[in-house]
Structure 1
């Protein structure tokens, strides 16, 4: 009996031990196509964290229990699952998954795949976006794409950003045509000059959380099908929609943020100010008893919150997505506030066995701005730091009426100014896709869209208390913007077996009209301005494209667009814009089958694009502008009661009846590559671009036209660049992953001709600065970049200190004149980079993006204007603060045009970093995140910020550092 009990006990112990016994399994993983071993393949026990990866020879070894399932996965290959039933060896041959190369990307009026794209096309998807409390959609892609530079305009609430693709093809100054790209939202091209009056950012109508992806079309072969508006590139924005057969999905997200400026202008402290002013002869009794840092006083910590509520569901033939978005964002300048309420809806319905698809997208948005008076920024920089904010009686301290030109107390200005704007905007698209029953390869698409905005606002600005002759300003404004668009196109796709070729042909017609109305009613003392301004322009277009994929190796694509614009006379109204591109899929050649490349494609393109965004609609014909206020009216008799009758005058405007398109010709050569089954991939892109008939507003000889300035075609500009992109999957494990993207762009731009009479020495001065009326610091001149500075070369003593007023006599005539000013440095960078990393560990995720810029310079106008004793002690009737550079230079007077103030502004910025944690529940997923933006900047620039769009720093609204806490619930 005892023996039996002992035996039973052994059995009871051995049975579970046997069931749980593990066997060491070995195996090899290879590529099925070429039998080559695959290193780094993940071999994981399904449902556990146990696993290993293959070595360099594709071998692995793992302990497995009976009945467990092995999951073998590798980036770019289709995963396999194998049930373990006691086998000692498991050899696996993985099949390449072409899904990566087959990823669909939009192109103009159509779509293609990555492997079939022949133009410079780059897609940035939702998973790649920058994170945080992002209000302006363009900030989602900052640093994400080679050749694309996004520069924010500052830290104001609701502030947008400047997008430049390959530097822009036009002059792009305040006198030239725009360098902004064309932006197309779900098929609707928006107005390149704005979209809604009174808005800080035309794209604020689009909820960033509602965007699926951006597709950037960079070269002319890709953009030529958009013709007259595509010289500066095209950005296609696709918003999120519901999916077929999708269960009801509810999402709620909140992002709470704080915003604080990171830097202020380097002014004299109160102690430094007293010392400098007293040493320059100021009686100490003129100083106040306070120590006020006016810049600290006008800025605060801004609070913000973004709410998103989304519902989506898909049936077999119908799907929908509805989103409500609320934004409240305070700027750091006291009183600065932006609020947005928006409904975003999309509906997709399929009929007739999916032959007919109807898509409707509608967005209703209300933007409300409470603008803080940014003139207070300049006043805070200049205000006497020894004076208190308020007088003993509680009123704001002011200089007094003996100082007519003195700035008002900046806190008084912020407290008393009221400036509000409300914008109600509707953006809608209606799309019909129909596959003909009698020819299955032929599809008709009709796309209609409208972007309609109404704005109303008022502004009250108090009179400067220091100026007895100043008046309060009261103004009201209303506006209407209407952009309507209608496209028809036919698309035919087929495979011709006899020539082993896929054919894709598209032809269509488009019409778009822009209507803008502005009503102004302003009163300032005796001056009353009542004005209505109406502008409209239209585009009529025909376009076509044919693409051929021959034997899955050779790609040919050609497009053509003919645009007619009402902005030009009948003789110059229509422009023709062709584009051609070719590609060679080297990887599909038989002699490349055993190579170590996983992707290799050579492509090249050429195209012609246009530019017509000149800010005026009737520049080819003589027009008259009515006077806008009482001061420009004349008396014309009297009434019965003897009251004078005033009539408005008409002023003739200058015009050029021969004005025509800018025309840009661009060449592009590129190589797309991939290694290790695309774990390492990227692109090398080179472009060369020539723009002719530059559009700009320039001076003309007196008497030659009705005005001194006219908008006309003035010259030529060339640019070239090299773009490098590297994507890498560094680790790909079940519980840990790390992928990275690095892109760098080298660019160069040069004005090659600029004149109305072929004068090779012609130039125009641009880039207005503070410190005098009509002063400019930049030059447009053949042989130089459009943002080149125009300065005197500073002379230094033996100790390296600048000698005031002493400059290099360049022409040797023994006197310093305008002839000695020289082009020197430029604001555009020689190169800029973006580096993004995405890491995950179990349920944690971390991503961060660095941006950098090199070879760019900034003109420190704060230092040149006020970094001298006269700016401090020689103001009419008051004392003002000055830039701290006066402590180093000791300058007495302004030296506005010295190259001393042109500073190198290279920088590397940690633009965005986000840490998240996802908690999966049975019926809900919760994700928490902590994000910081603009965390730090590494730079030698001494001024406020090295990233200034036009390269001139003066009254700049400082950027902020944002810290964001996010919670996202998905049901």
Structure 2
């Protein structure tokens, strides 16, 4: 009986425990429409932190599950499924696409919209489209990805940023850089003093997506800063109810230059010197030195990312640590970044209040090489040695002369490029934090209304110093040359706005309305101490402070899911401009028509989307090149600049010129577009046509003597128009469970013309631009009415019957039988007629292959490396004790004297580049997913241009820091 009693109690104890027995469930998550597996789906036990995520094949395994638990399957772009667990060991799930969720992720200023409801020229670029490899600067991710957006990569310096132009830019003297907004914080468009690249504080690995606002209908909500377009960068955040995940990613890279400037070899140089009358071959050395080989090296680098993310109930976070190191191909050039990125989110009061904090904190360490070594390596005598044991300049060979004070350097001679690199120190550290706190509250009395407060700051400080010893030939003073400097940049922001989003059922209309206020203040401080000429100088402190106060509003209507109407206005008040011009008003209006929802098209099965768009808007350019240019400013003298009164020298205050009516530039923009998609969006795209007119262009122009405090004045003088057509196409060539292949192509046709430039009506007035090496103050481009801003200004070269240029022979354009400045004509331009990008994405099971092509056509370049050193006198018309090397082009032309302004040096610079190739393989595991990738960048350039690189911003090829071809090995571990 006792045994029976004990057994009964034991069974009664086990019975309830069986209901709580923890089990393991696994399965596969697929798309309901295609049957394809979905990687990255969050699978979580509702109300707990117990969860998992699907691997590359859509498989998951979830432990510690009990009967009655609710399993939640969620993934962006799909409807969330909640399924009760009934004890089964296998549970396969299919998810339906949620079109509304897919569309709502497109950000616009102070809000979001869906792709199908966007009426402006807006484009989102997601991580799947990013360029791969050891990317240090964020703008490299999207080169070639968007129609109308041209990104010129930086030179070979590590950490350097490229140049971004949206629709060609809108200004002349003012900034043409777009406004960049990071997690709701607009960055200072002037950049950060001391930093190689204003975007380096943003770790490319942590970017969720880019949204590019191109036309004024989309950008005018940013008013006076939006004429050059707006780029919205959203960084990654944690996911709600997601399990803990840790990722380690490393990319190791090596790179080398692909070409060198063509100069004479030692033997070729000797032949030139020996065959030129009046030269002294005894001045030549007896060695053979390739100076370019001596200054360049193999660049190496490594990027490490450690990331942790988790969602615990209503709190979710993401934390990332980044360590980046990279050397340049120029010896001594080095960049290092250590960064911590945090994203914290908390939902409160049944999701009525959402709080989010993002913080990007970085420490950049730079060692800047002396880029003068690049030009010196091209021009230094190749017959001379690198070192000279008897040299007073640190043992480096230099061209010297004997004076009463002993041996000194030749003041005009080229410096030893190796010595320039090794005898120069230029280092700094830049600390930066971009942080913002966002609070979003749904009103309890009106859930459709929410209040948003966004406070942020962007703070940076740079400390650095330079040093060049007295023993350096590049130091022409009698003391060690040095400088110490400190720069502070502070950007404070407070946005407050209300958003109302609801449906008016009576008229079948959705309304989205936003109204708010913004205040942003910019502060810059710099102080430096160093040497000037032969004395130590404490330079004046520079303080720059300005503020921008704004009011904005926008209303968007979606009528019957067919007709879209949107209007916005922004009022900006800036302390930068005179009180009478302080406030600017920037309206915009746009419409759209979703034809696919019309009765006559809604049954067309192969039509996924067909939308017409049109819009008009006005914007401004806040970066006009001067703060408080409407005020009279006095500049204190520095160094030895003083005025003598008897035996005393008194420092001076110099009054500067000013224009009391100076105001910001303004832009009027018209845009028309069509968006389309066919066959379940297997083929989709858009076409946009735009016309833009910039008024009140800022430029420095001559003014009559006595009219101001200078004969040159920065003022509003001009007008320019630009027009273009942008085409973007995306196609899924293959869609299947194991094989997917898509291509994205974009092409942009553009044209820009100055239509007014002077205060008077002189049709021949122009402003010289484009300084070149060779002579003093020489320029090769011009701004002139009727021409592109990057038009060259040259004489037309005459050629002999064999096609060889005849030295000094130019076309007599005006027929006056003499060659004068009047025969110098505008000719060709550096701006391309059109440019394009092609991106391939291919996946086969666990393999992926991506590559990107970019091309530019109709653009020209002035080869200043040839014109400055491609004639005999460039190397021989020197003081009597040294010679300089020549560009090998002299062997083709035989030029004895300079021909700087000949159109012979204007060369076609069309190119097609294979910019990026990446091959990857993913190995899914039960505990760890592993991915390996191989990437090559700057792989191939197809061009007829014979210089180093046809892609030189501005169109003047001189002293160019060569880009490297890089190879990258990437390893990624996800736990």
The two structures have a TM-score, normalised by structure 2, of 0.88
The match for 2:65 is none
Do residues 115 (structure 1) and 116 (structure 2) align? yes
In structure 1, how many angstroms separate the alpha carbons of the residues matched to 2:971 and 2:79?
Answer: 34
Tell me the equivalent position of 1:585: 594
Q: Equivalent residues in 2 for 1:264-663 (5 A)?
A: 264-281=260-277, 282-391=279-388, 395-401=395-401, 403-462=410-469, 465=473, 472-530=480-538, 531-595=540-604, 596-629=606-639, 631-634=640-643, 647-663=650-666
- What is aligned with 2:9? none
Q: Residues 728-779 of structure 1: CA distance to partner in whole angstroms, max 9, x if unpaired?
A: 0001121111111000000000001110124333210111111011111101
Q: For 1:879 and 1:379, how far apart are their aligned partners in 2? A: 13
Looking at structure 1, the residues matched to 930 and 765 of structure 2 have their Cα atoms a distance apart, in angstroms, of: 63
Deviation, structure 1 residue 954: 0.7
Residues 751 and 781, structure 1, Cα contact 8 Å, conserved in 2: yes
Identify which range, 403-412 or 444-453, moves more after superposition: 403-412
Q: Deviations over 1:410-469 (max 9, x none)?
A: 101100100001111111101110001011111100001101111111001245528866
Q: 1:293 to 1:720 in 2, by over 3 A?
A: same
- Structure 2 counterpart of 1:882, from 879, 886, 910: 886
Equivalent residue in structure 1 for 2:711, among 686, 701, 708: 708
Matched residue SS, 2:489: strand
Structure 1 residues 833 and 45: alpha-carbon distance in aligned structure 2, compared to 1, 3 A threshold: closer
Distance 2:115 2:602 in 1: 20
Matches within 5 A, 1:669-688: 669-688=672-691
What is residue 693 of structure 1 aligned with on the other side?
Answer: 696
Task: Report the CA distance between 1:714 and its aligned residue.
Answer: 1.3
CA distance in 2, matches of 1:467, 1:216: 47
Q: Residues 604, 458 of structure 1: CA spacing in aligned structure 2 closer, same or farther, 3 A cutoff?
A: same
CA deviation vs aligned residue, 1:695-753 (integer Å, no higher than 9, x gap): 12233233221123221101100000000011000011211111110000000000011
- Equivalence map 1:726-741=2 (5 Å): 726-741=729-744
1:722 paired to 2:725: yes
1:214 CA drift (Å): 0.4
After superposing the two structures, state which structure 1 stretch, 694-703 or 102-111, moved more.
Answer: 694-703
Separation in structure 2 between the aligned mates of residue 107 and residue 46 of structure 1, nearest angstrom? 28
Q: Distance in 2 between matches of 1:560 and 1:964?
A: 47
- Assess if the C-alpha contact under 8 Å between 1:153 and 1:949 holds in 2: no
Deviation, structure 1 residue 795 = 0.6
The corresponding residue for 1:69 is: none
Partner of 2:155: 154
Q: Describe the SS at the equivalent of 2:578.
A: coil
1:968 to 940, 948, 972: 972
Q: What's the CA shift for 1:399?
A: 1.2
Query: In structure 1, how many angstroms separate the alpha carbons of the residues matched to 2:226 and 2:850?
Result: 33
How much is the aligned-residue C-alpha RMSD, in angstroms? Answer: 2.2
Cα distance in 2 between the residues matched to 1:294 and 1:939 = 26
Shift of the 516–247 alpha-carbon distance from structure 1 to 2, 3 Å rule, reads same
2:99 corresponding residue in structure 1: 98
Provide the rounded CA distance (Å) in 2 between the counterparts of 1:104 and 1:44.
23
Does the CA-based 8 Å contact 2:750-2:833 persist in structure 1?
yes
Distance in 2 (CA, whole Å) between partners of 1:43 and 1:569 is 64
Give 1:255's aligned residue.
251
Query: Structure 2: any 5+ residue segments left out of the alignment?
Result: 1-31, 40-76, 82-93, 403-409
Contact 1:401 1:467 (8 Å CA) reproduced: no
Report the Cα distance in structure 1 between the residues aligned to 2:143 and 2:196, rounded to whole angstroms: 18
In the TM superposition, what whole-angstrom CA distance separates every residue of 1:517-569 from its partner, at most 9, and x where no partner exists?
11011214424332211111110100000000000000000000000111111
SS at match of 1:871: helix
Q: How far did residue 165 of structure 1 move?
A: 0.3
Structure 1: segments with no counterpart, 5+ residues: 1-31, 33-40, 48-75, 81-92, 638-643
Rounded Cα–Cα distance in structure 2 between residues aligned with 1:453 and 1:44: 47
Relative to structure 1, the CA distance from residue 740 to residue 793 in structure 2 (aligned partners, 3 Å threshold; closer, same or farther) is same
Find the partner of 2:907 among 877, 899, 903. Answer: 903
User: What are the equivalent positions in structure 2 for 1:790-805 lying under 5 Å apart?
Assistant: 790-805=793-808
Counterparts in 2 of 1:784 and 1:152: CA distance versus 1, 3 Å: same
Partner residue in 1 for 2:59: none
Contact 1:472–1:525 under 8 Å retained in 2: no
Q: 1:44 and 1:686, CA in 2 relative to 1: closer, same or farther beyond 3 A? A: closer
Aligned-residue offset at 1:95: 8.8
Q: Distance in 2 between matches of 1:730 and 1:700?
A: 61
Structure 1 residue 284: deviation in Å?
3.3
- Please list, as runs of the form range in 1=range in 2, the aligned pairs for 1:848-859 lying within 5 A after superposition: 848-859=851-862
SS of residue paired to 1:440:
strand
User: Does the C-alpha gap of structure 1 residues 470 and 833 become closer, same or farther in structure 2, counting only changes over 3 Å?
Assistant: farther
Alpha-carbon offset, residue 179 of structure 1: 0.5
Contact 1:753 1:760 in 2 (8 A): no
Match of 2:916 among 909, 912, 926: 912
Report the alpha carbon displacement of residue 103 of structure 1 after superposing the two structures with TM: 4.5
Displacement of 1:215 in angstroms is 0.2
Q: Tell me if the contact between 2:624 and 2:664 (Cα under 8 Å) persists in the aligned partners.
A: no
> Equivalent residue of 1:222, what SS?
helix
- How far apart in 2 are the matches of 1:289 and 1:96? 75
Q: Structure 1 residue 472: deviation in Å?
A: 3.8
Correspondence 1:894 to 2:895 = no
Alpha-carbon offset, residue 102 of structure 1? 2.2
Task: Indicate the residue corresponding to 1:164 in structure 2.
Answer: 165
Q: Matches of 1:542 and 1:286 in 2, distance apart?
A: 71
Question: Given that residues 862 and 906 in structure 2 are in contact (C-alpha distance below 8 angstroms), is that contact kept between their aligned partners in structure 1?
Answer: yes
- SS of 2:888's partner is coil
Q: Which of 235, 239, 247 is the aligned partner of 1:239? A: 235
Q: Shift of residue 309 of structure 1?
A: 0.5
Describe the shift of the 1:46–1:810 C-alpha distance in structure 2 as closer, same or farther (beyond 3 A): closer
Report deviation, 1:45: 12
Is the Cα contact below 8 Å between 2:283 and 2:882 reproduced in 1? no
Q: Residues 755 and 105 from structure 1, CA distance in 2 versus in 1: closer, same or farther, beyond 3 angstroms?
A: same
Partner residue of 1:212? 208
Q: In 1, are the aligned partners of 2:578 and 2:628 still within 8 Å (CA)?
A: no
Q: Secondary structure at the match of 1:571?
A: helix
Judged with a 3 Å threshold, the aligned counterparts in structure 2 of structure 1 residues 833 and 694 are, in CA distance, closer, same or farther, namely: same
- For residue 872 of structure 1, report the CA deviation from its aligned partner: 1.6
Q: For 1:324-373, what per-residue CA distance to the aligned partner results, in whole angstroms no more than 9, with x for missing partners?
A: 01111100111000011111101011111111111111122111110000
**Partner Cα distance (2:641, 2:80) in 1:** 78
Take 2:541 and 2:78, find their aligned partners in 1: how far apart are those partners? 64
Which residue of the partner structure matches residue 764 of structure 1?
Answer: 767
